[in-house]
Structure 1
């Protein structure tokens, strides 16, 4: 163990020096520290959504990195390129993962990822977007998974054609791409691990003003591998669907999502066994804000087949809150509540376990204790804006199994051994504290601490208390 730590120490030092160098470069330019003008484009989680064409106006080119954001490729500027990327350095410590039912019992390590992208526009009707990424996990006990270590690979590479039709715009995107819909409860990026989730396939989008957006897609998830340029599509899984978002004019501030998602998955594993899963998901989400209230409520139903068994599963989720906008620290009091169905009888020829498909990570906390399947949870929370750039979030999250017969599931969707058929539903609870400093529009520094205690259902399987700590620095340009 000591030799392993000694072996990784120089690498960790290099990571620290790299992070400090980036901060020094940032602080050396006063413009980079400004919080930005409302007229300037903003950095986004999905980098291909950024539009830097306003920098055609020389008056808006006020940042020292603007030469990377607006690179004209012809005299008129109708052809142009945007370059960008990200560096993230993250440290994690975990004791007794998954309530002590995971392995190893204790681990601490660094996560380092870097990415570069090029967004090239050939006029208003066509563009290509390419992003490469490298990720490493020095200090990891044993061999890190491919979601944490990937020497160098293509994260995204697609071509997109756009066509204006009346008051709307139709776009067709083909290739490797990231996707996120709604609250990312079913399809979202995987941001806590080093390698974000990508899909290979086709996506068609119709946008009609700001009132209606419809996406249709047919894709396969990308299976990361640890080598160089060896990531390939997971041919054991197929995902397709239609996702629509619209305003609801009758109610101020209300919007709605309606969607259908289909999944084929070979060798799917649940507490009931291992079979081919053919699952259909239909759902609706109501979300928005009015005055100081905000709400996000979603209902989901699933049906299909799991081998010779039928699938009948469901989920209800809500995230509501009230912000005291006229008080010091602008406190927001919120309540998250979820119910994800489980399997009531493992031998009745019906699978009742909900499958969240490809959800965002983290889902409940940075510790990633449980997956959203066979689960009931509440999460009262308090968010405080300590300064205009520093936000603190405190939460308490008790967890129960929805059914005793089914197991509880660890991310991404693995039944935890010994947790099916327990006498109690109580999985446990976690207490969460997260603080985030948006030092500049590009630089974020954050930390999250989670303490978790097992409930009766996990203690029966040998569960125990544990903790998780993560600190990270993220620089995007």
Structure 2
């Protein structure tokens, strides 16, 4: 890993072999040439935020996607713009993927947008937010084209810490309201709906695993969830989070035998 910064510019490059965790004994994690992830990234600070782009390559000796099996060589391209101006904040990102898995060509894409407006002059500084996400799925089996977007090594808490669904073959819409009753406490409440881009492909969980029996079964409606989160800063070193999620399974999940689910998490972080 190497990076270089000068003025508004930052350049970075990574060559990696991801590690496979093991629990048999101490220090027994391993990596090998069967999996490689390399990329180069450039970022420039602009008025109100930053624009970044990267190009990367994922190489795996064996990969399986539905009816496609074989060596994976996937090129990844990403463009992102984040910033803040006055009460407005935004995070916009689009991704494209090309390459091959076995004898099939990869043609996948994704896009995400998160933004909000904070009313700073109003008690509790309420923020109205909106998040939308799209990620492609494989629309037709056996056609020599693989449309399933691979999120690579995703943040499992991107939607919620419950991590019910992953970032593949998905359409996601999430309005939210955040308030700050005190300088140390923030509370966020949201309702979200999820669909899959195509019912021919599966519904995916974390980190990138297809729910068995969902490909080609049921409709596009995946489900809806309510999300409540509170963050509290006790001091500069200690923070706490309480998060609750209720997921209402949609027709596509119920057709595969899944049901509703509830999640409650409590977390303390100490740093120095």
TM-score by length of 2: 0.96
* Corresponding residue number in structure 2 for 1:398: 193
Offset from partner CA, 1:73-111 (integer Å, 9 cap, x none) = xxxxxxxxxxxxxxxxxxxxxxxxxxxxxxxxxxxxxxx
Offset from partner CA, 1:109-132 (integer Å, 9 cap, x none) = xxxxxxxxxxxxxxxxxxxxxxxx
* Corresponding residue number in structure 2 for 1:426: 221
Q: Which structure is higher in helix share? A: 1
Q: Counterparts of 1:324-343 in structure 2 under 5 Å?
A: 324-343=119-138
SS in 2 for 1:371: coil
Partners of 2:182 and 2:265 in 1: CA distance: 22
Equivalent of 1:316 in 104, 111, 116 = 111
Equivalent of 2:12 in 215, 234, 254 = 215
Offset from partner CA, 1:193-236 (integer Å, 9 cap, x none) = xxxxxxxxxx1101012x01010111111222223111222543
User: C-alpha displacement at 1:423, in angstroms?
Assistant: 3.9
Question: Is 1:304 aligned with 2:102?
Answer: no
Partners of 1:342 and 1:446 in 2: CA distance: 34
Q: Which runs of 5+ in 2 are unaligned?
A: none
Q: Counterparts of 1:178-327 in structure 2 under 5 Å?
A: 203-209=1-7, 211-226=8-23, 227-248=25-46, 252-327=47-122
Question: Is 1:387 aligned with 2:168?
Answer: no
Q: Larger C-alpha radius of gyration, 1 or 2?
A: 1
Q: Which runs of 5+ in 1 are unaligned?
A: 1-202
Partners of 2:109 and 2:48 in 1: CA distance: 27
Q: Counterparts of 1:80-119 in structure 2 under 5 Å?
A: none
Aligned 8 A contact 2:76 2:96 in 1: yes
* Corresponding residue number in structure 2 for 1:409: 204
Aligned 8 A contact 1:204 1:215 in 2: yes
Partners of 1:267 and 1:387 in 2: CA distance: 52
Offset from partner CA, 1:18-47 (integer Å, 9 cap, x none) = xxxxxxxxxxxxxxxxxxxxxxxxxxxxxx
Residue-pair matches, total: 271
User: C-alpha displacement at 1:267, in angstroms?
Assistant: 2.6
Q: Which structure is higher in strand share? A: 2
Aligned 8 A contact 2:58 2:75 in 1: yes
Over aligned residue pairs, what C-alpha RMSD do you find? 1.2
Partners of 1:420 and 1:394 in 2: CA distance: 32
Partners of 1:295 and 1:289 in 2: CA distance: 6
Aligned 8 A contact 1:269 1:415 in 2: no
Partners of 1:413 and 1:236 in 2: CA distance: 18
Offset from partner CA, 1:139-164 (integer Å, 9 cap, x none) = xxxxxxxxxxxxxxxxxxxxxxxxxx
Aligned 8 A contact 1:367 1:450 in 2: yes
Partners of 1:268 and 1:399 in 2: CA distance: 27
* Corresponding residue number in structure 1 for 2:163: 368
Partners of 2:125 and 2:64 in 1: CA distance: 45
SS in 2 for 1:458: helix
Aligned 8 A contact 2:68 2:102 in 1: no
User: C-alpha displacement at 1:272, in angstroms?
Assistant: 2.8
